[in-house]
Amino acid sequence: MIATKNSPKPATSLLADASKRLEKALKYISISEDAIARLSYPKASLSVSIPVRMDNGSLQVFTGYRVRYDDTRGPGKGGVRYHPNVSLDEVQSLAFWMTFKCALLDLPFGGAKGGIIVNPKKLSKAEVERLSRGYVNEIADFIGPDIDILAPDVYTNSTIMGWMMDRYSTIKRQLTRGVVTGKPLSLGGSQGRDKATATGAFYVIQMILPKFNCIPQDTTVAIQGFGNAGATLAELLFHAGYQVVAVSDSKGGIYAPSGLDIPSVREHKYRSREMKAVYCRDTVCDIVEHRTISNQELLTLDVDVLIPAALENQITADNAPDVKAKYIFEVANGPIDSAADEILNNRGIEVFPDILVNAGGVTVSHFEWVQNRNGWYWTLEEVNQRLKEKMTAETQKVWDIAQTNQIDIRTAAYVHGLKRLGEAIDAKGTRDYYNTN
């Protein structure tokens, strides 16, 4: 929450912590009091109960949320996550970040987010489907292709998005592909959407590191999170020549100072569900020398580049003094809290923020939304070229703002997004406009 004249004292929360970054950006941009007031609170927050008939015949009721933080620049846009730690505070914070991410990339969207308190690993596929369709039943009047558009997030995927689109279309009695992005290609999805977050992050990294004279072959990388985004990015970096020395999933990680063969690690994990340093020849995989490490150990490895690609608040004031990486690229949403930010900044560690680095996902979601509305679909090469142009152009603008104002990259990113949001809000009229004779 941004402090305004009539604001209550902010509580300690993810949203309050996220807002601290914005308060810092306000020092470097002139924005109306109206815009600050509008951006101080979510526009709308919805909490719903979702009854689901389980496979054994019992009934369980799950709690779901959908938050639309701001829609000044366009309909809300944001993913839906399934996780036991989902909370309204978390969903509001993620919607806040999405608001600035969409403005930063100059997409015609506002920020939104959704989630359900559930451990999907404990549900059957049929139970997940009933839960997903039930969620849409409860929020159908709150969403729409011109109101609020859903997308995949933590533990949701293209299949789940397809179920949600299908259920919404059934409720509205018309095929409505644009209410959801990240759908299967056969249901109106876009080429490249499944790898868009990682691909966009790769374009940012490829553009930024040469500015610091980093050569791929001499640059070591550690990645926390080996899900879709983290694993895909690891493989992109591996093929580009970077030395990916450590990766981890929710159970822990592996570290090999000489570098990991990422395609083999991915293949082995897909087949065995185990994270091991291996080198595969066809169907035969040999274990290579490595050390098993925890997720927290990975964050403090002596590497050039650290990429948190798991969940929020992984680097805090407690472990920030132990981080040894020179450059951090946030692929997860909010992996570094504001207290850790100050510590890392004071230590000269360059942090490239989530609202820039992981914006490839929402950018290609925008492409999918456009294709759904036009009924004309692009090739993978067209999608990736448009994504590269968008990511590199906005990254350069953020870099220029940081250099001009001598500020950190995160603050520059918020300055860039805030300027666009402020202009859109002010275009509807401000106190100064109405007080002018």
CATH 3.40.50.10860 in the chain, residue ranges:
43-176
The yes-or-no verdict on residue 8 having pLDDT over 70 is no
pLDDT of residue 42: 93
User: What's the angle, vertex CA 359, arms to CA 354 and CA 363, rounded to 5?
Assistant: 170
The residue annotated as part of the active site, out of 43, 77, 101, 113, is: 113
Of the candidates 426, 333, 392, the residue with the CA atom closest to the CA atom of residue 105: 392
The Cα–Cα gap between 131 and 356 comes to: 32
CATH 3.40.50.720 in the chain, residue ranges:
196-357
Considering only 19-33, 279-293, 370-384, which range has the smallest mean pLDDT? 279-293
- E strands, 204-333, are 220-224, 243-249, 252-255, 278-281, 284-287, 291-293, 305-308, 327-329
Q: Are 275 and 248 in contact (CB under 8 A)?
A: yes
Q: What is the pLDDT of residues 257-303, one digit of tens each?
A: 989 999 998 888 887 777 777 777 766 677 777 888 899 999 999 99
Strand order in the sheet with 350-352: 291-293, 252-255, 243-249, 220-224, 305-308, 327-329, 350-352
The Cα–Cα gap between 215 and 200 comes to: 20
Q: What is the pLDDT of residues 180-233, one digit of tens each?
A: 999 999 999 999 999 999 999 999 999 999 999 999 999 999 999 998 899 999
The Cα–Cα gap between 61 and 155 comes to: 19
The Cα–Cα gap between 164 and 177 comes to: 10
CATH 1.10.8 in the chain, residue ranges:
1-41+408-437
pLDDT of residue 303: 97
Return the structure tokens found at 208. Answer: 């930024």
- Let me know if 195 is a catalytic residue: no
Residue 382 has φ and ψ, to the nearest 5°, of: -65, -45
Third-level CATH fold of 1-41+408-437: Helicase, Ruva Protein; domain 3 (1.10.8)
Q: Is 287 exposed, middle or buried (0-12, 13-18, 19+ CB in 10 A)?
A: exposed
Q: What amino acid is encoded at 117 in this protein?
A: I
Q: Which CATH architecture has domain 43-176?
A: 3-Layer(aba) Sandwich (3.40)
pLDDT of residue 7: 39
The yes-or-no verdict on residue 6 having pLDDT over 60 is no
pLDDT of residue 198: 97
pLDDT of residue 269: 82
What pTM, to 2 d.p., does this model score?
Answer: 0.89
String of b and e for 380-414 (b: at least 16 CB within 10 Å)? Answer: eeebbebbbebbbebbebbbebbeeeebbbbbbbb
Distances (CA, A) of 421 to 32, 72, 143, 344: 11, 8, 22, 28
Third-level CATH fold of 196-357: Rossmann fold (3.40.50)
pLDDT of residue 3: 43
